[in-house]
Structure 1
Amino acid sequence: MKMTQDTVFAFEQTLENKTKKDILAEKIIEMIVTGLLRDNDVLPSERELSQLFGVSRETVRGALRLVAAYDLISVSHGSKTRINAGEVQLARFHDSYAQMNSLGVNQYNVDTVFESRSLIEAGIARKAAKRIDEAGLEQLHKMLDAQAEMFDNPVHFQLSDKNFHKLIAEYAGNELLLKYSEELYSYGLNIRRSVMLESGAISRSYQEHVLIVDALAKGDEDAAEQAILRHLNSVDRTTREKMTD
């Protein structure tokens, strides 16, 4: 199963008639509204976003224009793109734009969400272990190489982490599993951002990613399932710890 730049958003496009630009804009908006991206954060460059999401720089520029129309980012030629997520901007956005469906997952308690995520991603890992090809493994290894340089950059790491899980779900070959896994990923992103700021948190997640990729590379369904479940247990534990701080 070969994944190319032209097919990276193929599953979403089969569910709704949206362009890649629209889909990417919604993903960025979701990350702002959930608190993964925060006021005054610097977004990765167009080139970096293009690599992270596997789309063209033209698609990135178009998506950023859509987000900028809601005044949620500041884009200026020759300057870094920054997040505008102060109270005024967020209130204006909520007044003018309906909440995205995926944000509804935050209405459920942590037990329900992580049980669902474990069941779905365990199945995804097993299917991906059977279906992933050399191109997919190469993409995952490139992500790992990039993540190894992100230990001091939680924003970039979380964006890469989201795409890491998404790519694995794409190789499961089931668009509904992909959709559900992405919705569940959005749970408590503001809390996950806080977790990623703690010493050693990114390094720990990176090492867990390495074990997942190793299992997928071997085509070992059982090992892939166990690796993803260990990772999700770690995410669950650190999320709960931060929620009780």
Structure 2
Amino acid sequence: MNVKKISTRKISEIAAEHIEEMISKGSFKPGEKLPSVRELCELFGVGRSAVRDALTSLQAKGIVQVKQGEGTYISRFDPSKLFNSPHMHPGIKDIQELFQARKMVETGLAEMAAENRSEEDLAKMNRLISDAAIHGWEEDYQFHMAIAHAAGNDILIQFVQFISETLKKSMIDFHHYLQTREDIAKKIEEQHLEIYLSIKNKQPKLAHKTMIEHLDLVKKHLQMSILQEK
């Protein structure tokens, strides 16, 4: 009997992952109604209990909303829910708005970092951009967080962490995409160096300018990489 329960749980998890993946790729869009339980059973070739369990799991994560007597709907993008659901992809419009927020916040942080940075801050940034592993999401994230810490505003540090976590899954996939685009990866490395040098040389206006150029480039190619996956 225990074997049966484990198998059922795994089927529901797989069904939930399939639904999440279809949402992330745009097959099901925010605000739209999901197919009925019966239709999902036929689509995935699983039982009703597995589909119901999958929908319950997705509802708990804020990905879908069950309306009594109406059906199940895809939740509209909500960063506070995605914060606890790193496997979810925000859509193209959401990414545009998140990068607008990044430009407003991170350009200001770059300026502040150019004015307030310590030698320890510079050493950490330099270590990150000198590391061959900068192509990875973690190193990229740590570089931007080092700038935020150098600026010295704890509230804005938390805000950058929040946006980064919301974009985490998309950015991890983006760094995989960069492995096939050496030209773009190299340009991003060069921009990181330019940002670092402007902060090191205490040039806040230049730090602001180079950060805008960097975020615009990343947003452009992130959107392109997402469209290629569809």
- Normalising by structure 1, we get a TM-score of 0.53
Query: What is the aligned partner in structure 1 of residue 114 from structure 2?
Result: 129
Shift of the alpha carbon at 1:241? 1.0
Amino acid at match of 1:106: P
Q: Which has the larger radius of gyration?
A: 2
Shift of the alpha carbon at 1:103? 2.6
Shift of the alpha carbon at 1:190? 4.4
Query: What is the aligned partner in structure 1 of residue 192 from structure 2?
Result: 209
Q: Aligned to 1:103, which of 61, 82, 93? A: 82
Q: Aligned to 1:150, which of 109, 125, 133? A: 133
Query: What is the aligned partner in structure 2 of residue 118 from structure 1?
Result: 103
CA–CA separation in structure 1 for the residues paired with 2:191 and 2:153: 24
Q: How does 1:190-205 map to 2 (within 5 A)?
A: 190-200=172-182, 201-205=184-188
Give a deviation string over 1:69-126, Cα, whole Å, max 9, x none: xxxxxxxxxxxxxxxxxxxxxx8xx68x968947349376122111111101011111
User: How many positions carry a matched residue from both structures?
Assistant: 149
CA–CA separation in structure 1 for the residues paired with 2:80 and 2:98: 15
CA–CA separation in structure 2 for the residues paired with 1:134 and 1:190: 30
Give the gaps of 5 or more residues in structure 2: 1-20, 22-53, 63-78, 84-88
CA–CA separation in structure 1 for the residues paired with 2:209 and 2:130: 23
Decide which structure has greater helix share. 2
Whether the 8 Å CA contact 1:103–1:183 is kept in 2: the answer is no
User: Aligned pair in 2 of structure 1 residues 203, 102: CA closer, same or farther (>3 Å)?
Assistant: farther
Give the gaps of 5 or more residues in structure 1: 1-34, 36-90
Q: How does 1:1-245 map to 2 (within 5 A)?
A: 101=80, 103-104=82-83, 106=90, 109-146=94-131, 149-150=132-133, 154=135, 157-185=136-164, 186-187=166-167, 188-200=170-182, 201-245=184-228
Amino acid at match of 1:111: Q
Amino acid at match of 1:204: K
- Normalising by structure 2, we get a TM-score of 0.56
| Matched residue SS, 1:106 | coil
Identical aligned residues as a percent: 18
Whether the 8 Å CA contact 1:143–1:164 is kept in 2: the answer is yes
